Structures are given as structure tokens and as C-alpha cells.
Chain A
Amino acid sequence: DGGITQSPKYLFRKEGQNVTLSCEQNLNHDAMYWYRQDPGQGLRLIYYSQIVNDFQKGDIAEGYSVSREKKESFPLTVTSAQKNPTAFYLCASSISGQLVHEQYFGPGTRLTVT
């Protein structure tokens, strides 16, 4: 059963703690993305990776970090430097190298920081 998995579905943390969100895909996609979704706003790109061991900052990368050591995995760390980390986080992947491609999304992780 192919797809993208994100874990956990809900995550609670205390302010000042770093937290890592998991994203795994078995679609054999080269490109992976992390988005943040807040109520009433469109998706905002945090980081994206077009290939293993390479990634680029999106529009709101401050306070976040990523790694891409394996093709299947693209974990996101929300650091204590992120001023407003409570949000719904979505991971996506797509075929790379094509001119146009749709993105496939995981189910999301809702992070609450208090």
C-alpha cells in the first residue's frame, strides 16, 4: 500500500523543547516538502528537498530544521527558536525532474506547544 505516513497524528510539547516530526514515503519520489497550515491561510512552505542529501529553505524556514539522509524519509525538527510552533504540519512528495507534477500529501501532524 503506497503512500506517505506522518507520525504522530497529535503531538504536545512544552515551550522550549525541540520536537521532531516524522515523514516517510514509499512512492519512490525524489522530491519531498514540509508545509505549515494555519486556520484561514493557505499552505506555507517550510523546507523542500529535491534529492537525497540536499534541501532548500522555503518561505518560513526560521526555527525549523530538516535532514534528507534517505530517499524515503524527510524529518522536520521544530526548534525552540520557532516563535509560534502550534500548527498543523503537512508533508508531501512528488516526482522530480518532470516539468509539472502534483504533490501527494501525508495525513498531517497537529503540534500543540504550551
Chain B
Amino acid sequence: AQSVAQPEDQVNVAEGNPLTVKCTYSVSGNPYLFWYVQYPNRGLQFLLKYITGDNLVKGSYGFEAEFNKSQTSFHLKKPSALVSDSALYFCAVREEGSNYQLIWGAGTKLIIKP
């Protein structure tokens, strides 16, 4: 069965420091991986996706994510956090060849302190 885990409910980072939001997945075949961000009482916004190719994927707002097949991980990173990055972050996966459904993680609340 497909699944996604975001092991941290909350991540606290000081402004200007690098940030990492963790995501691990489980699928039988090749994964398609996504990161989305949600600001309070808003819909989700797409940040980036991994389909194939380079393991380091660059996305919106200076975020990037690294696909690690051996560790089945797709951690979201940013070199220097901004207070405005504070939000809820969701990782999602779909297995190659499956239907349109995405499997979503429970979300990680990112708090950037000035």
C-alpha cells in the first residue's frame, strides 16, 4: 500500500537559518513526489515535484527538495528561512502507473522565529 509519513508535527527554525521538513514514502513502484504549502485558512499552493531525473528539485520561493531512493525520502529544504515561510507543509506521493489519486502526509507546521 502507498503511504507518506511526515515525522515531525512542527519544526521551529530561526530566521536566516537553513530549514528542513522531512518526508518519507512507501510505494511499490516508482514514486511521483510533491510538496505543497498551506497558509492559514487558505487552499494549498504547489511548491515542487519530483518525477524523474536529477535528485535535487528546485521549486517556488527558494525551496528545493532532494529525492533519495535508498532512504525513500523527499525532504524539503531552504538555505535561509524567512518569517513569511511559516505555514503548513504537505508532502504527497503517487505511484507511477496508478490512478490520479495522491496520498497525502499529515502535514508539518513550520514556524520561523525572528
C-alpha spacing A41/B106, complex, angstroms: 4
B42 lies within 8 A of A107 (CB): yes
B102 lies within 8 A of A103 (CB): yes
B71 → chain A, closest Cβ, in Å? 21
**Closest chain A residue to B106 by CB distance?**
A42
A56 → chain B, closest Cβ, in Å? 8
In the complex, chain A residues whose CB is within 8 Å of the CB of B106:
40-42
For window 28-43 of A, CB contacts with B under 8 Å fall at 31, 33, 40-43
Interface residues on A, range: 20 to 34
A90 lies within 8 A of B44 (CB): yes
A42 → chain B, closest Cβ, in Å? 3
**Closest chain A residue to B34 by CB distance?**
A102
Decide: A48 near B43, CB < 8 A? Known: A40-B106, A100-B32, A102-B49: no
A100 lies within 8 A of B43 (CB): no
**Closest chain B residue to A48 by CB distance?**
B100
Residues in chain A within 8 A of chain B (CB atoms) = 4, 6, 31, 33, 40-45, 48, 50, 58, 88, 90, 92, 94, 96, 99-100, 102-108, 110
Decide: A110 near B41, CB < 8 A? Known: A100-B32, A100-B51: yes
In the complex, chain B residues whose CB is within 8 Å of the CB of A4:
43
In the complex, chain B residues whose CB is within 8 Å of the CB of A108:
41-43
B49 lies within 8 A of A42 (CB): no
**Closest chain B residue to A33 by CB distance?**
B100
B43 lies within 8 A of A50 (CB): no
B97 → chain A, closest Cβ, in Å? 9
A107 lies within 8 A of B43 (CB): yes
Partner of B100, one of A31, A40, A41, A104: A31
